[in-house]
Amino acid sequence: MSLAETINRPTLHQELVDRIRNLVIEDKLKPGEKVPEKDLCEAFGVSRTPLREALKVLASEGFVILQANRGARVTHVTRQELADTFPVIARLEQLAGELACVQLSDVDIAQIEDRHRAMLAAYSANDRPAYFQANQNIHQALIQGAQNKILEDHHKLLAARIQRARFMVNLSNDRWAAAISEHETMMTHLRARDAAQLGLTMKAHIENKFAAFMQGIDAQSDG
3-state secondary structure of 13: helix
- Encode pLDDT of 116-133 as tens digits: 999 999 999 999 889 988
CATH topology (fold) of 79-222: Four Helix Bundle (Hemerythrin (Met), subunit A) (1.20.120)
**pLDDT value for 62:** 84
**pLDDT value for 1:** 47
Tell me: pLDDT of 173 over 70: yes
> 183 and 138 in contact (C-beta within 8 Å)?
yes
Tell me: pLDDT of 19 over 70: yes
Comparing 8 with 101, the larger pLDDT belongs to: 101
Highest mean pLDDT among 129-133, 204-208, 212-216: 204-208
Cα separation, 181 vs 73, in Å, equals: 39
| Cα angle 61, 4, 77; round to 5 | 30
Fold match, 9-74 / 79-222: no
- Torsion of the alpha carbons at 52, 56, 57 and 59, rounded to the nearest 10: 130
| Closest to 190 (Cα-Cα) out of 113, 95, 93, 90 | 113
**pLDDT value for 186:** 98
pTM for this one? 0.78
| Multiple choice CATH, 9-74, 1.10.10.10, 3.40.50.920, 3.40.50.720, 1.20.1730.10 | 1.10.10.10
Comparing 126 with 166, the larger pLDDT belongs to: 126
> 64 and 24 in contact (C-beta within 8 Å)?
yes
Please, which pLDDT band fits residue 215 given cuts at 50, 70 and 90?
Answer: confident
Instruction: Work out the average pLDDT over 51-71.
Output: 90
Cα separation, 92 vs 89, in Å, equals: 5
Tell me: pLDDT of 63 over 80: yes
3-state secondary structure of 147: coil
Q: Which of 94-98, 165-169, 177-181 has the lowest mean pLDDT?
A: 165-169
Tell me: pLDDT of 220 over 60: no
Tell me: pLDDT of 206 over 80: yes
Instruction: Work out the average pLDDT over 80-96.
Output: 94
**Where are the domains positioned within the chain?**
9-74, 79-222
- Torsion of the alpha carbons at 149, 111, 209 and 24, rounded to the nearest 10: -60
Burial class of residue 120 (count of CB atoms within 10 Å of its CB; 0-12, 13-18, 19+): middle
